[in-house]
Amino acid sequence: MRILLVEDEKELARSISRELARSGFVADCVSTLGEARRALKEVLYSLVVLDRRLPDGDGITLTPEIRRMRPGAQVLVLTACGRTEEIVAGLDAGADDYLTKPFDFDELLARIRVGLRRHRGEDALPAIVVGDVSFDPKIRDVAVRGKSVILHGRELMLLEALLRHAERMVSRQALLDEIYGPDEDVQPSALNILVMRLRRRLEELDAGVKIHAARGVGYMIAAARA
């Protein structure tokens, strides 16, 4: 799942991005309303975490545009504007949730998970099954022969990206865009190492799938042949 974080406090934005990455999400961070508008035009976000006091205006004014540009996206306002009338104004303006600073990261992640479960159209998505692996996109749960398994954050993001395009080649660039944020310094070998780790984990689980590689092009997941 890809999240847009609109936050002008750079250190806070980095901290939130790290926590999201550990939980298996990719966050694109921007610091102004203008940057947020450009990002919304280019990427299909499931959720927007939105500060209010931004350099070029009140973040809540962006909510109607988010609704128009990305109708299914959830909006979680994260701000120091915590007076009752400010909270009411934010919710009345169209925000789905409102969390005030200072906040607890665990609470933020819990609210994000709730928002994603409410994401319009999400409930209609069926589980993706390839070989003995099934992936539930609603709760982002991976199971092998019906038993849930735990994967590290980036391994889960890689597997999800491959499963969503099962038996089709996914380009290296598309995978990099799915797994890593735009501000991360990604080494050329990072994706190769991640694929190697995921392959090893799937083999350990006897998951009945194989990740195929096309040198310099990308990767594909498919059911393993008997």
The pLDDT-based confidence of 226 (bands split at 50, 70, 90) is low
* Whether the model pTM is above 0.75: no
> What pLDDT, in 10s, does the model give residues 76-105?
999 999 999 999 999 998 899 999 999 999
Contact between 27 and 109 under an 8 Å Cβ cutoff? The reply is no
- The span from the CA of 135 to the CA of 175, in Å, is 18
Model confidence at 34: pLDDT above 90: yes
The pLDDT-based confidence of 138 (bands split at 50, 70, 90) is low
Cα angle for residues 56, 59, 60 (degrees, 5° grid)? 140
> What pLDDT, in 10s, does the model give residues 110-128?
898 888 877 645 445 678 9
> What pLDDT, in 10s, does the model give residues 176-218?
888 886 667 788 799 999 999 999 999 999 999 999 999 889 9
pLDDT score at 125: 63
Contact between 52 and 87 under an 8 Å Cβ cutoff? The reply is no
Domains identified in the chain and CATH numbers = 2-118 (3.40.50.2300), 128-223 (1.10.10.10)
Cα-flanking dihedrals φ and ψ of residue 4, to 5°?
-100, 120
Would strands 57-58 and 128-130 be described as parallel, antiparallel, or unpaired? unpaired
Percent of the chain with pLDDT over 70: 94
- The span from the CA of 87 to the CA of 68, in Å, is 22
Count of helices and strands (H, E) across the chain: 8, 14
pLDDT score at 218: 95
Burial class (CB in 10 A: 0-12, 13-18, 19+), 106: exposed
Residue type at 102 in one-letter notation:
P
Contact between 103 and 78 under an 8 Å Cβ cutoff? The reply is yes
